[in-house]
């Protein structure tokens, strides 16, 4: 028989591991979306207008921002 306090520790540990895995999965999915959310015109698509047109950061704007950060 497992002592109650040890059983409680095991249960809490398992709950934490499940939560950590859930957060890691959500983070991986968010990164996948961010990496793949681009097209020919935009390096990053922030969203879409009500008409369905994308808006966001163009490849040129991203390049300029990276150059500014290197200065």
**Which pLDDT score is estimated for 50?**
92
Range of the domain at 49: 38-71
Q: Do 29 and 46 belong to one domain?
A: no
The verdict on 32 and 42 lying in the same domain is no
Please tell me whether residues 31 and 42 are part of one structural domain: no
For every residue of 28-64, DSSP letters joined together read HHHHHHHHH---SSEEEEEEE-TTS-EEEEEHHHHHH
State how many domains the chain has: 2
pLDDT at 70: 75
pLDDT in tens, 29-69: 776 665 556 667 888 888 889 988 888 988 889 888 887 87
Taking the whole predicted model, whether its pTM rises above 0.85 is answered as no
Looking at per-residue pLDDT, the higher value among 27 and 7 belongs to 7
């Amino acid at each position: 028989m497992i002592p109650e306090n040890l059983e409680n520790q095991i249960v809490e540990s398992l709950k934490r591991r499940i939560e950590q895995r859930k957060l890691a999965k959500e983070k991986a999915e968010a990164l996948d979306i961010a990496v793949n959310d681009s097209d020919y015109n935009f390096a990053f698509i922030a969203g879409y207008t009500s008409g369905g047109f994308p808006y966001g950061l163009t490849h040129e704007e991203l390049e300029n921002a990276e150059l500014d950060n290197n200065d």
